[in-house]
Amino acid sequence: MRSTLPVVMACHFLAAFTVLGVPLYLPRLLTSFGLSERSLWAGVLFSLPAVMTALSSAWWGRFADRFGRRLSLQRALTGLTLAFVLAGVSPSLPWLIVALALQGVAGGTLAAANGYLSLHLRGEDLAKALNWTQSSARLALLSAPPLMGAILMWQPDIGHHLWLGLAVLPLCGLVVSLRLTPDPVTESPAPETKHRQVKTTFPHLWVIQFLFNFAMVVTFPYFLPYAAHWLHSDVLIGVLYSWPHLIYLLLLPLWHRLTGRSVYFVPGMLLMALAALWHMQLNATPALLVARTLFGCGMLLAYSGANQMLSDSIRQHSAGKQFGQIDAAGKWAGVAAGVAAGWLVTHCSLQAPFLASALAASGAIALFIFSPLRGSGYVRITRRS
């Protein structure tokens, strides 16, 4: 399994690099179709892939359970390759809309990767692997925007043809995935007692995942104008924007080495809520750096706790479906966060999304405390650590 996890992470990173890197520059890429950078289409097309992924994730999860999870991962990488090729050669806006819809429908690489890992790992080991697949997404968020920005500076007229070159990445991921061993499709259900427990806890886990992702994402869309009030360097703003993801990457190996199975969701969400409220009071760079660091530490703890809960709740015979549902929760949260952030900034202030983040984090804590998850194996595992 030591050789399997790096391969799965490589597949996910190669897919995530384009999916997470392009949205920042989407308004500029749309100028190839005669649209302004402030066009309403930028917001619509920003959300379209996430909506389509959310709608199709559970279906692809059932596909993975029936036909194999390695095949599902390869299906996602193939679909992304085709979608990016179509986007890169699109002769008109309607073609681009179809391409981005295909990107969403064919997506779900994270759910497919996690579903494959669930074949080989259980419990704490699976939770740790899920943390590592999240690290590949954090690495993509750190590396893709500056590299794509450099490409656009070097080739300012490349426009939407950028997608065509980027299609090579998921294609490489597809080639890398050939190193993974085929998985046998198991149909044996879990014991009835555990089945009932999972049916009880999984809806709560879905909502908790939604609130967690909302709390994290709602602060992102308007961070640039928020920080520009006292920071006059786009480079510095970009560094501080990405800082929580860097904290996650730097601390994750140390966290796993020192804590073992001691992962805490509630302390992580509490740190995120406090950091978000602190953002509302800031007007100096050093304090912002500390607040971003606190937010990153909260992300690490919350992800670790959420992944431990998910690992304890997964049923082996339907892991693909469940990972798909959790992926859909994250996508719906991203769509809701984008809409909420836009409304709050328009009608309230640039600080309002941070209040929304703190409220969502507090809601996740309350739901956890009053849900069956509080008495699940997740808590007993952490108490033994």
Q: Domain ranges for the chain, please list them.
A: 1-179, 190-385
**pLDDT recorded at residue 293:** 95
250-289 residue pLDDT tens: 888 877 665 544 457 889 999 999 999 999 988 788 899 9
- pLDDT-derived band at 234 (thresholds 50, 70, 90) equals low
**pLDDT recorded at residue 262:** 46
Q: Examine the pLDDT at 240 and tell me if it is beyond 60.
A: yes
**Considering the domain 190-385 in this protein, what is its CATH number?**
1.20.1250.20
Q: Examine the pLDDT at 195 and tell me if it is beyond 70.
A: no
**pLDDT recorded at residue 380:** 44
**pLDDT recorded at residue 38:** 65
The CB-based long-range contact list for 279-282 (8 Å cut-off, 24+ gap) reads 279/219, 279/226, 279/351, 279/354, 280/351, 280/354, 280/355
- pLDDT-derived band at 184 (thresholds 50, 70, 90) equals low
Token pair in block for residue 213: 């992702």
Between 202 and 160, residue with greater pLDDT: 160
Residues making up the chain, counted from first to last:
385
109-139 residue pLDDT tens: 777 888 788 777 777 778 788 888 888 888 8
**pLDDT recorded at residue 82:** 94
**Considering the domain 1-179 in this protein, what is its CATH number?**
1.20.1250.20
- pLDDT-derived band at 291 (thresholds 50, 70, 90) equals very high
Mean pLDDT, residues 199-205 taken together = 70
**DSSP-derived 3-state class of residue 251:** helix
**DSSP-derived 3-state class of residue 376:** coil
**pLDDT recorded at residue 200:** 54
- pLDDT-derived band at 309 (thresholds 50, 70, 90) equals confident
For 309-336, b/e burial (b = at least 16 CB within 10 A) is: bbbbbbbeebbbbbbbbbbbbbbbbbbb
Question: Which residue is it, tokens 């390695």?
Answer: 70
Mean pLDDT, residues 199-227 taken together = 82
Mean pLDDT, residues 350-362 taken together = 93
- Cα 104–chain centre separation: 14
Mean pLDDT, residues 147-174 taken together = 85
Between the alpha carbon of residue 369 and those of residues 194, 319, 365, 379, 380, the distances in Å are 21, 25, 6, 11, 14
Q: Examine the pLDDT at 171 and tell me if it is beyond 90.
A: yes
Mean pLDDT, residues 321-336 taken together = 83
**DSSP-derived 3-state class of residue 157:** coil
**pLDDT recorded at residue 219:** 86
- Cα 200–chain centre separation: 25
Dmax (CA) for the chain in angstroms is 61
- Do 64 and 5 contact (CB within 8 A), yes or no? no
- pLDDT-derived band at 354 (thresholds 50, 70, 90) equals very high
Residue 122, phi-psi category: left (phi > 0), alpha (psi -120 to 50), beta (remainder) = beta
Q: What's the CA gap between 246 and 6, in Å, rounded?
A: 19
The answer to whether the Cα torsion of 298, 333, 207, 71 is positive or negative is negative
Token pair in block for residue 71: 């095949």
Q: Which residues contact 132 (CB under 8 A, 6 or more apart)?
A: 5, 9, 252
Question: Which residue is it, tokens 């509302």?
Answer: 280
**pLDDT recorded at residue 190:** 47
**pLDDT recorded at residue 338:** 82
Tell me the percentage of the chain whose pLDDT exceeds 70: 86
Select from 224, 285, 274, 265 the least CA-distant residue to 369.
265
Select from 143, 177, 133 the least CA-distant residue to 18.
143
60-74 residue pLDDT tens: 888 887 888 888 889
Select from 265, 330, 341 the least CA-distant residue to 111.
330
Between the alpha carbon of residue 256 and those of residues 231, 248, 309, the distances in Å are 35, 12, 16
- Do 324 and 25 contact (CB within 8 A), yes or no? no
Token pair in block for residue 359: 């409220």
Token pair in block for residue 317: 């015979």
Q: Examine the pLDDT at 385 and tell me if it is beyond 50.
A: no
- pLDDT-derived band at 176 (thresholds 50, 70, 90) equals very high
Between 91 and 376, residue with greater pLDDT: 91
Please report, to the nearest 10 degrees, the dihedral formed by the alpha carbons of residues 26, 30, 36, 40 taken in order: -70
Mean pLDDT score across all residues of the chain: 81
**pLDDT recorded at residue 337:** 86
Residue 159, phi-psi category: left (phi > 0), alpha (psi -120 to 50), beta (remainder) = left
- Do 89 and 166 contact (CB within 8 A), yes or no? no
**pLDDT recorded at residue 154:** 83
- Do 297 and 251 contact (CB within 8 A), yes or no? yes
Q: What's the CA gap between 192 and 284, in Å, rounded?
A: 56
For 33-58, b/e burial (b = at least 16 CB within 10 A) is: bebeeebebbbebbbbbbbbbbebbb
Q: Which residues contact 377 (CB under 8 A, 6 or more apart)?
A: 312
Asked, colleague to colleague, whether 1-179 and 190-385 share their fold, the answer is: yes
